[in-house]
Structure 1
Amino acid sequence: MTINDPQQLKILLAAIACKDEQAFRLLYDTTSPKLFGFAVRILVKKEWAEEVLQESFVNIWNHADSYQPQLAAPMTWMTKIVRNKAYDLLRRVDAVVEIDADTFDQQVVEALESKDPTPIESLQLSDDAKALARCFAYLEGLHRQAIALAFYHDMSHSEVAKQMALPIGTVKTWIRRGLERLRLCLEKAGA
């Protein structure tokens, strides 16, 4: 199994929600290298990244039942947990991190320095998000599903086509038309 197989990861998270230790071990073995690398990019120090990874997997074990597959792909959900734990650690230690510009992502640096809400927090709080949700609800069910798989679950058009058992041309057309309808609806809403 690879981390690029969201269906398998969803099955593992469902099993972990029932406290299946073997599923947890498999999820850890499959995803921990990528999640550790992500933590290192934020924290730079490997020992901090190890601590954050451990806290993140404890969180995943304890809260797997709260994972909602319709809202995010499994790796997206787990990456968010790691990111939040990493930022919590930085706030907790009030760290001044030495940054090597060649190895550290500039966007992470800017996010750490900014007192503004994160993009996700802004989206959740904004009127635009409410308008988008209303407009999204007006789309036909299959068009909505295709867009959700492509944008919320980070699937390619071919992956969406395979998931929905449809020709790729149909999926591309539905996504393009759905996005155009969203744009028109949002313009009418003034968002």
Structure 2
Amino acid sequence: MPTPAATYDYDAALRACARGEQQALQGLYQQESRYLLGVALRIVRQRALAEDVLHDAFLSIWRRAGSFDATRGSGKGWIYVVVRHQALNVARARAHEISADEDTVENLLHERQENDNGDAGDAYALQANMGKLHDCLGHLDEAKRNCILYAYVDGCSHSEIAQRVASPLGTVKAWVKRGLASLRECMG
């Protein structure tokens, strides 16, 4: 049975999760899962998908509990933001999906194989561009290069990058923006 929300200490539960206490995560789940499922369901509009979102969000809460900062907001709010972002990411990904029957998929794969066999020049161009990208990345200063790699290779958010490089968020955003501009110019 969940504790009344007014007396449940979300911040303490997140700190316990950060210490690796599984009971804390279980407590958060028991306390909020039915409400968080509703948040996910309103965004993705399919119950099975909302359940998957909730599962993935709780994994994220478990892994990222150490990044929760009580000075920036409440623990309960942080949990809801994690679920909301997970649901929005799933909804965005599904918006780009195209459904097709097996015959259509097989025909597309067959066409791709035929095209891949005759595109040795494209493979060469791709390899040349990758080499140029590597050279252009080498011309960037270390901070800009690292920020771009964290963002585009590791998939980190600006906030996560700021934590990794121990720099202010605004500085990281500026480094990414300027670094991308330099890469565009170099690749041009």
Shorter-normalised TM range: 0.3 to 0.5
**Higher-RCO chain (CA-CA 8 Å, sequence separation at least 6):** 1
More helix by share: 2
Normalised TM-score (structure 1): 0.47
